[in-house]
Chain A
Amino acid sequence: MTRNNTKLSERIFNGKNIVIAIPFIWLLILFLFPFLIVLKISFAEYIIAIPPFSSFFLWDDTFWPTIQASLYNYKFILEDSLYITAYLSSLKVAIISTMITLVIGYAIAYSIAKAPTRWRGILLMLVILPFWTSFLIRVYAWIGILKTEGLLNLFLLSTGIIDQPLTIMNTNLAVYIGIVYSYLPFMILPIYANIEKLDVSLIEAASDLGCRPFKAFWSITIPLSMPGILAGCFLVFIPAVGEFVIPDLLGGTETLMIGKVLWLEFFANRDWPLASAVAVILLALLILPIMYYQKMQEKTLT
């Protein structure tokens, strides 16, 4: 009997390692390894060839290759104000959009959590539904609304609210609208999950003791829903910094965002090493928020 048991546990142990290895190795090859390649190519130089970069290792007659690393791309990025401005304005756009999304998202999440129980399921599904429909299509839908001869101006002109069409399309305002619209479900869901779990008796106790509803909300509900707020903000902020589709389709010449710069360096200029360096710096900027977000995820699960 004991012999059988050890055999079994041995089998589980071996099987276990194989089971772990399958997704682990996949992610190592197609997620972690690619970043090392980006890092490597960011130290290469642009040459007219296929692929368009110089090799990292120089294989002479020696056994060990010589490493040819050039800091040219990083110097180029740091010296050209275009890139610095693009990074800063991406951060600015992402912060402002995250704040707007937070205010709107919190109001919706709070209202769903306080809705009659039988309504909650359907309301939550209505929040998730747009998240399942194509991002590209949802951004595209705003072009018809926001352009100068678009539906919003048509509506406002015909009702007499304005006499001159508003210029929203191809401005930063359009980018804010696009980001808030696209990422709203990411903000609502974690906040809702948090508010729903809140103990109502705390609010009741506060109001019994003479606290005004607004003060109770401000000093009890908000602090207690902080984990949801933070999760939502990270889920919006991090991807928004590197957003490409929204600034490309809704933004204009004044919109300079790093995701678009990277795209253009890669597809228009075919400068792969420079695009890689842009990506490395972007990742370096985002690594702290990403790690913080992961810590939070781990904590909520254990």
Chain B
Amino acid sequence: MNKFTKFNLASLIIGFSFLYIPIILLVIFSFNESRLVTVWAGFSTKWYTELFNNQSIKDATIVTAQVAFISSTIATILGTIAGIVITRFGRFKGRTLFSGMIYAPMVIPEVIIGLSLLLTFVALAINRGILTVTLAHITFSMCYVAVVVQSRMSSYDDSITEAALDLGCTPLKTFLVITLPIIMPAVISGWLLSFTLSLDDLVIASFTSGPGATTLPMKIYSMVRLGVTPEINAVSTILVGLVALGVVSAALINKYQISKQI
């Protein structure tokens, strides 16, 4: 049985403090009475009240929720297909190009992706707005879904699908009855990942969105540029809370499913 050594314990404590202290401070100061973010003047929820009365933040939240929901759903469908194609379809014409297009968006700087998509929408004469942001988010999210699904696909035994096909099950039915249930946890985490990626994205949304389609990160960014206020801390706290809730419940679901399988 391994035990923590001094070095391991120290690096874990320092590492996790570095990762979490900024977020904890951000949350604490969202409940600050004072407008100054760094001087504690007593507990107050007034910034949250102010937030709920802020129409432009509400509008941006609605836009962001719409974009995130639609884009993550379509990205999950496309990404799942792509993940299966990479793991199960063997060699086909353009395979290298295909896998290249799956991995590249994850490392290529966002400014390049944003600029290239914007210029494409202009070239195709598509008006910029919610639609274009959604298309952009589908494109980069599907690559993350593909990678998540692909790692699940490559770790399970293919012989059951072959057995089903040999016994005369149609490919579509085999997929729906056998493959999909097996990779479901990966598909769900792919959806959650796409949802948060879309929720977070500032750079690509700034390039591809148009008037009337300001997303929440764009709104937060313009507020930050004007100065640090507890209101930004409040909206950030809500977002962090939602994400933490989502990730923890996803992890619990995953654990429950694994324990059920055993």
A residues with a Cβ closer than 8 A to B are: 11-12, 15-16, 19-20, 22-24, 26-28, 30-35, 37-38, 41, 51, 104, 107-108, 110-112, 114-117, 123, 125-130, 132-138, 140-145, 147, 149-151, 154, 181, 184, 234-235, 238-239, 241-245, 249, 259, 262-263, 266-267, 272, 275-276, 279, 282-283, 286, 290, 293-294, 297-298, 301
Contact = CB atoms under 8 A, between A and B. Distances in A.
Nearest to B237: A137
Interface in B1-25: 1-5, 7-9, 11-12, 15-16, 18-20, 22-23, 25
B107 A37 contact: no
B112 A283 contact: yes
B190 interface: no
Residue of B12, B89, B112, B146 most packed against chain A (CB within 10 A): B112
B42 interface: no
Contacts of A134: 199-200, 217, 236, 239-240, 243
B239 A143 contact: no
Instruction: Report the 3 A-B pairs with minimum CB-CB distance, sorted nearest first.
Output: A242-B109, A34-B116, A111-B8
Interface string B76-113: 00110110111101001010011111111101111111
Size bin of chain B's contact surface? 35 or more
B102 A27 contact: yes
Interface string B181-208: 0000000000001001001101100110
A140 B22 CA distance: 9
Contact of A133 (B113, B120, B240): B240
A262 B251 CA distance: 39
Given A111-B11, A137-B236, A242 B112 contact: yes
A245 B36 CA distance: 23
A285 to B, nearest CB: 10
Given A123-B12, A141-B22, 12 more contacts: A15-B172, A20-B89, A23-B142, A30-B120, A30-B139, A34-B117, A116-B2, A116-B3, A132-B193, A145-B22, A181-B19, A276-B119
A294 B112 contact: no
A244 B111 contact: yes
Contacts of A128: 247
Nearest to B78: A23
B26 interface: yes
Interface of B: 1-5, 7-9, 11-12, 15-16, 18-20, 22-23, 25-26, 29, 37-38, 78-79, 81-82, 84-87, 89, 92, 94, 97-105, 107-113, 115-117, 119-120, 122-123, 135-136, 138-139, 142, 146, 150, 154, 171-172, 193, 196, 199-200, 202-203, 206-207, 217, 220-221, 224, 228, 232-233, 236, 239-240, 243-244, 246-247, 251
A107 B102 contact: no
B38 to A, nearest CB: 6
Given A12-B171, A140-B236, A239 B109 contact: yes
B101 A32 contact: yes
Contact of A140 (B18, B26, B99, B154): B26
Contact of B251 (A28, A125, A143, A279): A125
A301 B232 CA distance: 42
A37 B19 contact: no
Nearest to A34: B116
A151 B154 CA distance: 47
B116 A37 contact: yes
Contacts of A127: 19
Contacts of B22: 138, 141-142, 145, 181
B108 A290 contact: yes
Contacts of A51: 122
Contacts of A293: 103, 107
A275 B115 contact: yes
Given A111-B12, A242-B112, A272 B119 contact: yes
Contact of A137 (B92, B100, B207, B240): B240
Contacts of A144: 25-26, 29, 37-38, 228, 233
26 contacts: A12-B171, A20-B89, A20-B92, A23-B81, A24-B94, A27-B82, A27-B139, A38-B116, A108-B12, A111-B12, A114-B8, A115-B8, A125-B251, A134-B240, A136-B224, A137-B240, A140-B232, A141-B236, A144-B25, A149-B38, A184-B18, A238-B108, A262-B111, A279-B115, A290-B107, A301-B150
A239 B87 CA distance: 26
Contacts of A117: 2
A129 B5 contact: no
